[in-house]
Amino acid sequence: MCGICGIVGRHADLPAARGMLRSMVDSLRHRGPDGEGFHFDDSVALGHARLSIIDVEHGGQPMSNEDGSLTIILNGEVFNYVELRQALEEKGHEFRTRSDTEVVLHSYQEYGEDCLASFNGMFAFAVWDRRLKKLFLARDRLGVKPLYYFEKDGGLVFASETKALLKTALLTPSPEAASVAEYMVRSYVTGEGTFLSGVKKLLPGHVLTFCDGRLRTRKWWDIEPARNGDAGEKHYVEKLAWLVSDSVRLRLRSDVPVGAYLSGGMDSSTIVSTACRELGRGLKTFSGAFAEGPQYDERRYIKLVTEACGTDHHEVVPTGEEFFEKLPLLVWYLDEPVVGSGVFPQYAVSLLAAAHVKVALGGQGGDELFAGYPRYYRPYFRARLADCAQFRFGRGAPGSLPADFLLFVLNRGRTDVPLYLKRLSAPGPAQVLSPELSRLARQVPPPAVPPGLNAFERVLYSDLKEYLQGLLHVEDRASMAASLESRVPLLDYRVVELAASVPYKYKMRRGLTKYLLRQVAKDRIPAEILARKDKMGFPTPVDVWFAARAEAIAGFFRSREVRERGVLDSEAAVRIVREHAKGAGDLSALIWRMLNVELWHSIFVEGKRPEEVPRLGGRATG
């Protein structure tokens, strides 16, 4: 796991290019504290900050092939590099290292852009072809690893994080109003856009080529939702079970210590138990909890797994004081606001893990692939009703609509399923924004989905294509902030393609979310965890913390800087904070977004260092 950056075109020939590239690499040091490397050629400057994982001694970058015609910088890992190397050696390729980076380089040399289809991993990389004067950028299928770029005067600048782009002095930071408005509505930004005007992200499963001042992008992979066909539950369970095991096996490949996150939920518990089967006892596991109440603490479930698997377990209990102290720094690490406050505990657990290992496995992706959120119930039953030509209440085979529906009703008192039925009266984000941003917020379109999908399939597709991108953004930044490589076995592209091919009736069934994954997990994890119907997902008690420090937060929104910035309606923001403190409703999600937008503007547009931003802790009022 690393940070990559580069300048292509006439700016790379400027005397200042070397200084700009070094500043870019320095800004990515948290991603790669173990080493750095630079490559300068006619019209190209490439930089790399390395976190050493595979071939620690000889895997430094940038890396060139034998004749120097191709040079690569890679962020991430290609986990099946051992098998790919063997195939390349049979074709006559010779290797000087044991690294996956050199395998990617020789694969590109042998197969060109078609090499991507053979890679199983998480990656963003750049290859410079000296003979053709062409830059090739590629991003992995699911977008686990980030890549950003902008064009300037016929040249291109790219980097793993947007903060590195700002170090070139070729980009004047200016907020992209449409992206800010979309974040306030969705909690993430879709498509190529970012918070910085003129900066784009290379989309997941896409490549970019830049040659002779011309930029082209194209899609090399996409999700293909199931259209027809049903191989039967037994087939899908057996195939998924094998794929999960093989994915974990591949992601245990490392020349440095590997551990795992453990939340007490089904996804991370399944990953931990599978890894322990592969390694034996002694896997290091890491978790966190909060002291604000049982609704923020899953340690009793975590203990079941650690005892069953015999892991070497470590935990952290972050506090509200630490949250407010670290918030500006987290905004800096994130590059731009995205999803919710879970970045704070994820960062805390990443720091804990980084003190013991360099690589951690996590359970990200299980909810989006296999329908793990309570909000999926409504579209699921809409789809089931649409499929039923005849409704006979209380009759039918298991898995039919009546059986599903009855089990849903019977279980609702023991689960968080009714959450999706609640009609929240929380104010919309448009009410707290400036008039122009409010107008843009009202114009945010619904998610784009392919035709022919039912209500349930549409929600799963949009979450996998859009919401998951926000979660992966947090996964990358929180782990990289701690110089830790985070691997996500459930997002192995083979698992994703299988999940996309599975008829939706196997994803939620008999009143259970993640039905198919539960069948795989039932002989791997403790029965009490398998039976869980409460979806927690490491919730952060910002509702409590915001209420306790309401006046300090309100004072921040009343400040001259916030009023002059003109992003929020200052008085509306103060009113939201006070309503939340009075218990008028849980408005913490909206407060979180407002805080993040203002702090981002202060740091990335106005150029303040995180330590220069006013702290919001203040004195607790409750």
Q: Which one of 162, 193, 219 terminates a domain? A: 219
Kindly state whether residue 444 falls inside one of the protein's structural domains.
no
| Domain assignment of residue 488, yes or no | yes
If asked whether residues 553 and 472 sit together in one domain, one would say no
Which of these ranges, 62-66, 191-195, 424-428, 578-582, has the smallest mean pLDDT? Answer: 424-428
Contact 368, 468 (CB under 8 A): yes
Handedness of CA 225, 230, 234, 235 (dihedral sign): negative
129 and 78: one domain?
yes
Instruction: Report how far residue 207's alpha carbon sits from residue 3's, in angstroms, rounded to the nearest whole number.
Output: 18
SS3 4: strand
Distance of CA 73 to the CA centre of its chain: 21
- We report the CATH number of the domain holding residue 65 as 3.60.20.10
What's 46-104 look like in SS3? EEEEECCCCCCCCCCCCEECCCCCEEEEEEEEECCHHHHHHHHHHCCCCCCCCCHHHHH
Please state, in angstroms and as integers, the Cα–Cα distance from residue 220 to each residue in 113, 139, 211, following that order: 9, 9, 19
Q: Is 582 contained in some domain?
A: yes
Say whether both 481 and 554 belong to one domain: no
pLDDT value, residue 241: 98
pLDDT band at 405 (very low <50, low <70, confident <90, very high): low
**Residue that is last in its domain, among 188, 219, 250:** 219
Residue 169 lies in a domain: yes
508 is a domain residue: no
Co-location of 211 and 91 in the same domain = yes
pLDDT of residue 425: 46
Q: Sign (positive/negative) of CA torsion 405, 410, 416, 422?
A: positive
**Given the DSSP bridges, would you call strands 258-261 and 284-288 parallel, antiparallel or unpaired?**
parallel
* Structural domains counted in the chain: 3
Cis peptide before 345 (omega within 30 of 0): no
State whether 44 and 177 are in the same domain. yes
Amino acid at 354: A
Burial pattern 246-270, b for ≥16 Cβ within 10 A else e, equals bbbbbbbbbbeebbbbbbbbbbbbb
Q: Over pLDDT 70: what percentage of the chain?
A: 92
- Residue 225: predicted pLDDT: 82
pLDDT reading at 416 higher than 70: no
Residues 447, 438: Cα–Cα separation, whole Å: 19
460 and 312 together in one domain: yes
Under 8 Å between Cβ of 595 and 532: no
Look at residue 72 and tell me if it is in a domain: yes
Per-residue pLDDT of 187-203, as tens digits, reads 999 999 999 999 999 99
Distances (CA, A) of 210 to 2, 345, 385, 442: 22, 39, 50, 36
CA 189 to CA 447: how far, in whole Å?
Answer: 11
The answer on pLDDT for 361 being more than 80 is: yes
pLDDT-derived band at 399, boundaries 50, 70, 90: very low
157, 52: one domain: yes
Tell me the pairing of strands 148-152 and 200-201: antiparallel
Q: CA-based angle 114:492:277, to the nearest 5?
A: 135
How many CB atoms are located within 10 Å of the residue 421 CB?
A: 10
Cα separation, 504 vs 514, whole angstroms: 10
**b/e per residue 486-498 (b: at least 16 CB within 10 A):** bbbbbbbbebbeb
pLDDT of residue 169: 87
pTM for this one? 0.93
Q: State which H helix or E strand residue 497 sits in.
A: helix 493-501
Token pair recorded at residue 123: 């990656």
Is the predicted pLDDT of residue 415 greater than 50, yes or no? no
Same domain assignment for residues 597 and 469:
no
> Would you state the structure tokens that stand for residue 249, as one six-digit string?
């096996």
Stretch 106-135: mean pLDDT, rounded? Answer: 97
Q: Which of 75-84, 189-198, 374-383 has the lowest mean pLDDT?
A: 374-383
Note whether 137 and 6 are within 8 A (CB).
no
Place of tokens 């103060």: 574
Q: Are 411 and 533 in contact, with CB atoms under 8 Å apart?
A: yes
pLDDT in tens, 561-615: 999 999 999 999 999 999 999 998 899 999 999 999 999 999 999 999 999 998 7
User: What is the β-pairing status of strands 359-361 and 284-288?
Assistant: unpaired
Q: Residue 285's beta-bridge partner residues?
A: 260, 313
Same domain (yes/no): 362, 493:
yes
Can you give the pLDDT at residue 404? 57
Residues 333 and 468 in one domain: yes
Domain of 183?
2-219
Contact 313, 285 (CB under 8 A): yes
Residues labelled as active-site residues: 2
| pLDDT, mean of residues 311-335 | 96
